[in-house]
């Protein structure tokens, strides 16, 4: 993730350059949408969150700390907005996971759509702290240090959350999760 390019774009955005904002939008629309979608399990809600995030970013360029990375900032806004959305809609309670009992482990599943759906269902069984680290690590490709910055928690905490999250996912995907 090139922070230099982002910094230049943000400078142009601050001077009211719409094209620069559109460039940022093109670059980050998909990861922001995917992060929201994995948090909320709804394309419609993820679309709304994506719009909210970019409008907040547009209105808050003056508050952006240029010593930080833009993607850390926008991903943090995305996760916070998603969690706020879950709070507002009372959907913080984990869903009951209904694992398909086909005798296959996740590594044997060949149908990628089915895998995707199973993973999404399993993700929704986890609390938002664990879901966030999985999303940042596996769907947005962030490093431990980057996750630490985005979530504002120590790297050690990131590692332990990631470990627990993966154990939960493994249990959920193999149908052991209760």
Q: Name 53's Cβ contacts closer than 8 Å, sequence gap at least 6.
A: 32, 36, 74, 77, 78, 81
Query: Per CB under 8 A, does 55 bind another protein?
Result: yes
For the chain, state the CA radius of gyration. Answer: 17
Q: How far is the CB of 43 from another protein (least distance, A)?
A: 7
Shortest separation between residue 90's beta carbon and another protein, angstroms? 24
Q: How many whole angstroms separate alpha carbon 77 and alpha carbon 111? A: 33
Q: Are 35 and 141 in contact (CB under 8 A)?
A: no
Under 8 Å between Cβ of 56 and 81: yes
Q: If binding is defined by CB under 8 A, does position 109 make contact with another protein? A: yes
User: Nearer Cβ to another protein, position 94 or 106?
Assistant: 106
Q: Among the candidate windows 68-76, 84-92, 101-109, 124-132, which touches another protein by CB under 8 A? A: 101-109
User: Do residues 35 and 75 lie in contact, with contact meaning Cβ atoms separated by under 8 Å?
Assistant: yes
Nearer residue to another protein within complex by CB, 47 or 84: 47
From residue 6 to residue 25, the character string flagging contacts with another protein as x (rule: CB under 8 A) and all else as - is ----------xxx--xx--x
Rounded (10°) angle between helices 70-88 and 43-59 = 130
Give the residues lining the site for another protein (CB under 8 A). Answer: 16-18, 21-22, 25-26, 29-30, 33-34, 37, 43, 46-47, 50-51, 54-55, 58, 105-107, 109, 112, 115-116, 119-120, 134, 137-139, 143-144, 159, 162-163, 166, 169-170, 173
């Amino acid at each position: 993730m090139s922070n230099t390019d982002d910094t230049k774009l943000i400078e142009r955005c601050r001077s009211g350059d719409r094209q620069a904002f559109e460039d940022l939008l093109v670059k980050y629309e998909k990861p922001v949408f995917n992060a929201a979608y994995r948090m909320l399990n709804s394309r419609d809600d993820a679309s709304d969150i994506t719009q909210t995030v970019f409008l907040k970013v547009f209105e808050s360029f003056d508050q952006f700390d240029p010593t930080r990375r833009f993607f850390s900032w926008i991903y943090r806004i995305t996760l916070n907005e998603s969690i706020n959305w879950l709070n507002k809609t009372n959907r913080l309670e984990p869903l009951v996971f209904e694992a398909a009992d086909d005798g296959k482990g996740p590594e044997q599943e060949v149908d990628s759509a089915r895998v995707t759906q199973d993973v999404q269902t399993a993700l929704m069984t986890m609390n938002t702290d664990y879901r966030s680290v999985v999303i940042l690590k596996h769907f947005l490709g962030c490093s431990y240090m980057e996750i630490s910055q985005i979530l504002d928690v120590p790297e050690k905490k990131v590692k332990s959350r990631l470990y627990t999250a993966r154990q939960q996912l493994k249990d959920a995907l193999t149908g052991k999760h209760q």
